[in-house]
Chain A
Amino acid sequence: MHKSQVLSYFLIAFLVGTLIGSFWHFGEQYFWIFIGLGTLFFGVSAYHRTFGQTVAGIKRRKVGFVIGFCIILATGGIYRFQQFDADHSRVTQFNDREAGGKGISVRVVGYVAGDVRERGLQSQFPFEVKEIIALKRTFSAGERVLVTADNRAGYRYGDILTIEGAPQAPKNSESFDYATYLKKQGIRSIFSSPDILAEGSISLGLWERSSVVVYRALQGLKSRFESALIGTIAEPEAAYIQGVLLGSRSAIPERLQDAFATTGTSHILAISGYNITIVAEAVLGVLLFWFRRRRAIWIATAAIILFTLLTGASASVVRAAVMGLLVLFASGYGRLYDAKNGIILAGALMVFFNPFILVFDIGFQLSFLAVIGLLYLYPIFQRWAQRAPSLTGLKEIALMTLSAQVMVILLLVGYFHSFSLVSLVVNILILPIVPAVMLFGFIAGISGMIWIPLGKIIGVVAWALARYQLWIVEHAASFSFASVSISLPWIIIVLAYVLLIGGIWWFYRHHGS
């Protein structure tokens, strides 16, 4: 066994552990049993006489070591999930508690910890609770809740607030699993219309304090950028450009969001690894005219990091950026072996920091699968389509789209019970323009921050490109056959993925990389 292969087994073991932890809860005694089992494998393999001193015997002992370690790491994954789960359910204990027909009020102190969305007369923001004051006692906490305030007081990231209200568990509607949607962000309680006292005092650790300061500055930059954008470009194109550039969907009219879903193009509106890969490739393509490939890759890396910071560096964008960088380096240096470990390592780290994303974050799963498609399926398709003409890069974009789509399509069917028939055509028609829209939208926003009239001139170009894309999406969505509904049981979907990944593995085994 190769060293790097062993590492990937360890990481996969951790991921499997987290997966198991997400579905079943284990008591303390089980952990001892699992660790005991792992130690047993260790102990047996450590004894030098086990399996004899032959080459085969030594190999078996090594396998035994690896299995033992995998079991312990999987146990670690289960433990990590349960510990994370418990840490993030202090406020949750007060959810929907009632006394005399009214919710029991809890007072919490903390800070605004994310984008403040202002809609109609309300503002909504994630809030990091540091202290809970209930039943005349103060508990410390580190948990995120969602606050919906009845005003637009212009709250900003990092504002320290004291909030008093009755927390509620999120309620699912028929069509939308709100609880799961919030859970992946670590949110399991909502304060609607609480009393908000602006002042509050909490002491944060050095790390948390400095990250709040940095984020606050980034968020300020982002909101200035956004207001420059909506002041220079007409709607709904401005909202669409915000979606493409910053991943914020809230301003896009619902009708349009539905059109994106029907045509299988919603991924454009969220910053995903796929999305960032396209940007990176475009930047790289331009840079290659002037720089050597390796230098160009480093400049593209810097561009991605800058982009991530400018968009506010939210957890999902950081995840996407990591995925995008992985694809960039894998295609740049062309070492598939490292790419595989890199992607598993990135996935494992992300899951370690927030175990909820593995099962609850559709975006994470889609991103991950799309990146696997780009790294492994794309070269296969490229080999098959070697003879086809490039058509100014159109072939490459079509194949990239196809390889990402093939990987995610079953998962999309599993979640949304529908399958878009126009998806491939629409994606090929609009994806080549996405980097151009992002570029001009970005320049328009930046120049709008400096001098509005300049932003308006460049904004016209961004508007026209966005108009074209929206026109395609709207018209494609209006076809009656744009989307068909099908339901598949999860077991079939899981099996299909096992077959798909097995097939890819088999292909590389027999045809080399």
Chain B
Amino acid sequence: MARICLNHHNADLYGKAFPHHYVRRNASHISSMSVRMDTNRDKIIAGIIALVLIVLAFSSSQAAGQKDGLLKIYFLNVGQGDAIFIEAPNGNQVLVDGGPDSAVIAELARVMPFYDRSIDAVVVSHPHSDHIAGLIDVLKHYDVGYVIQAGEQYDSLEFRSWQEAVAQEHTIEIDTVAGKQINLGPEMTFTIIHPLKSVLGTATDKPHDDNVVAMLQYKHVKVLLAGDMEAAVERILVNNNIDIDADVLKVGHHGSKTSTALPFLDAVTPQAAIIQVGVKNRYKHPAELILSRLENFGATLYRTDTDGMIRLISDGTSYYLNKQ
């Protein structure tokens, strides 16, 4: 009874000298009120639990629907910069570059399930800000298992911030050199094909020359990730007879005319080409010359500035590209 009286909001006005007749007269009213409040509380708690369960059931069924044993590559729309998210059939995740700012976080949220707070590996093609700046935010939001980069020293504030952010995270750093292969699952490999010699610890002021180029292969489907590689690097790859034949090409340097030379295209023979580029960027990327060159080659063209996010799905024998 005492507890019930305390619940009544006028109770304290009467304090301990609570007149007995008052208690008797109001007892039924007070206790019914207390019961009502208890059931109200239970209703509210039940309502919140129900809401949480409904949302979770709905979103996890959506997330489960995406676990279909296929390779998925998302070319994220991060404006003027590169960011490519790879999800292997067994669920391993790799992010190649992170774009110029935190836009990558919103894009990743679109393609990753809500409970997934980790990315297995982050690959840095080269230390320019339009490739690494967004990665600083990625490190803040996600647990990153491995950071894979060429390891050269580049003098810029952005790169210093990035290096500091990497040092603060508990990640394992791996340097890149041609031939290094990362197994992403059964019959799924991520192979570094450039730089040919390790540049670990060397200083550079032209990061494009040390650009990390990688070939992603799932059974028979091959995707070449060119980063910002320019014609000089393309020539090295072609002249050294390195196998760069691929089905899909992530076009080098946002479609700039300094990349994607004819001999290189002859060696790659892509069926589809993807350009990651910002709307009305100040570099006027992509160059008309490169667009018509790719078209003449018969490659289907996709661009993040007009198409938005682009997704590739593959079962290892065929692949399918679409806008998201």
Contact = CB atoms under 8 A, between A and B. Distances in A.
B115 A460 contact: yes
A231 B7 contact: no
Interface residues of B, number: 41
Given A231-B140, A392-B40, A293 B9 contact: yes
Given A235-B106, A289-B41, A292-B11, A230 B140 contact: yes
Nearest to A293: B9
Nearest to B37: A289
Nearest to B6: A292
A209 interface: no
Contacts of A467: 55, 59, 114
B284 interface: no
B215 to A, nearest CB: 30
B40 A121 contact: no
Most buried by B among A227, A236, A294, A464: A464
Contact of B12 (A227, A237, A292): A292
B70 to A, nearest CB: 22
A253 B106 contact: yes
A47 to B, nearest CB: 49
A237 B47 CA distance: 20
Interface in A105-163: 119-121, 150-154
A58 B296 CA distance: 100
A433 B48 CA distance: 8
B261 interface: no
Most buried by B among A154, A292, A465: A292
Given A151-B161, A235-B141, A289-B37, A392 B44 contact: yes
Given A121-B157, A392-B43, A236 B9 contact: no
> Chain B contact residues: over half helix, strand or loop, or mixed?
helix
B51 interface: yes
A416 interface: no
A16 to B, nearest CB: 39
Contacts of B117: 231-232, 234, 456
Given A227-B140, A393-B44, A433 B51 contact: yes
A463 interface: yes
B135 to A, nearest CB: 12
Nearest to A456: B117
A392 B140 CA distance: 41
Given A251-B102, A464-B51, A289 B7 contact: yes
A235 B105 contact: yes
Interface string B36-53: 011011011001100110
B100 interface: yes
A346 interface: no
A404 B102 CA distance: 35
A468 interface: yes
B161 A393 contact: no
A465 B51 contact: yes
A435 to B, nearest CB: 10
B129 interface: yes
Contacts of B12: 292-294
12 contacts: A121-B100, A230-B141, A253-B106, A289-B37, A433-B48, A433-B51, A436-B48, A460-B114, A460-B115, A461-B52, A464-B52, A465-B51
Given A392-B47, A465-B52, 12 more contacts: A121-B129, A121-B157, A121-B158, A236-B106, A236-B109, A289-B38, A292-B12, A460-B56, A464-B51, A464-B56, A465-B51, A467-B114
Interface of B: 6-7, 9, 11-12, 37-38, 40-41, 43-44, 47-48, 51-52, 55-56, 59, 100-102, 105-106, 108-109, 112, 114-117, 129, 133, 136, 140-143, 157-158, 161, 164
Interface of A: 119-121, 150-154, 227, 230-232, 234-238, 251, 253, 288-289, 291-294, 392-393, 433, 436, 456, 460-461, 463-465, 467-468
